[in-house]
Amino acid sequence: MPEHHSGPGRPHPPTAAAALLSLLTVLTLLVTLPGTAAAVAGNDSRPTHPEQDWMGSTIRAHEGERGPAAKGSSLPDTSLSGLPLAGPSAAPPASAAVSAVVKGVDVSSHNGNVSWSKLWNSGIRFAYAKATEGTSYTNPYFAQQYNGPYDAGMIRGAYHFALPGNSGGAAQADHFVEHGGGWTDDGWTLPGVLDMEYNPYGSTCYGLSTGRMIDWIEDFLDAYRDHTGRDAVIYTSTAWWKKCTGNYGGFGKYNPLWVPRYGSSSGELPNGWGFYTFWQHTNTGPTVGDHDRFNGSYNRLEALAYG
């Protein structure tokens, strides 16, 4: 008997059983393809990026809206008062020069191409862009997100999302500096940021003891300083810092603190820091989500950029 067709040259659609078999075959191939298991596990060598790891991406899920309660008040940063007042040749708006707080944002590839003119017009004066993660990932939007703020008139910087369980701190600092995390003494470039937060791919502390975590962070900071001459900023939450470093207090003397807490105050700070330099106060702000405040006036931000 001749084969029946649903139209010229068209065989009958496959049966439900055949379709299911095809789907199972595809899924089996995906699981067994080289590198795919690493992608699922979040290994540093994964070929695709699941977009779970921008600055603060893990905070709300682990700590909720507000994070640890405040102990006392967060006073303005006075530690920068002795730094030089020199700044970029283009003077900031008068309102920014006298403000006690400077508004900024942080972005990563999940934001795509950012409207920097829109952010500038809304009062944003600094921006940090994710450059790298681990020792293999680089942000495909980094050029637009790093050069765009500069072109708009903002002071800008780069940050690295740490994966301490995957490779050494010095190796990740090298990768960071080689792919946008360096520093230039131009008055427009802020020191790099080490983003230390919950592991989006596995155990909270990346499988490291508190002692090994402290050593890892120190290795990164030392290597970054060797490359740039600058002390990197540390982004971390108080709860994560307590759990994964034992609330170590040895970095506060040299490394500025960037703390996330989504509420009306910055809350309790990690041990070793008496004040924050940056505060990520919301992840639901206009245009890009993550909005931040620098703890000082605009000329203090310039001073930090100059080092």
Q: Please give the positions annotated as active site.
A: 106, 195, 197
CA distance 282 to 279: 9
Residue 79's CB: how many other CB atoms inside 10 A? 14
Return the H-helix or E-strand segment holding 40.
helix 36-41
How far lies 278's CA from each of 78, 124, 150, in Å? Answer: 13, 14, 19
Name the β-bridge partners of 133: 137, 161
Scan for tokens 């029946």, then name that residue. Answer: 4
Terminal CA-to-CA distance of the chain, rounded, Å?
Answer: 85
Of 206, 181, 204, the C-alpha closest to 194 is: 181
CA dist 298 and 124 (Å) reads 11
Both structure tokens of 85: 């007042």
Residue 224: count of CB within 10 angstroms of its CB: 29
CA 164, CA 224: separation in Å to the nearest integer? 15
Non-local (6+) Cβ contacts of 133 within 8 A are 44, 53, 160, 161, 162, 163
Report in angstroms the alpha-carbon separations of 303 from 98, 189, 242, 252, 285: 15, 11, 30, 19, 27
238-245 vs 210-228: helix crossing angle, rounded to 10: 110
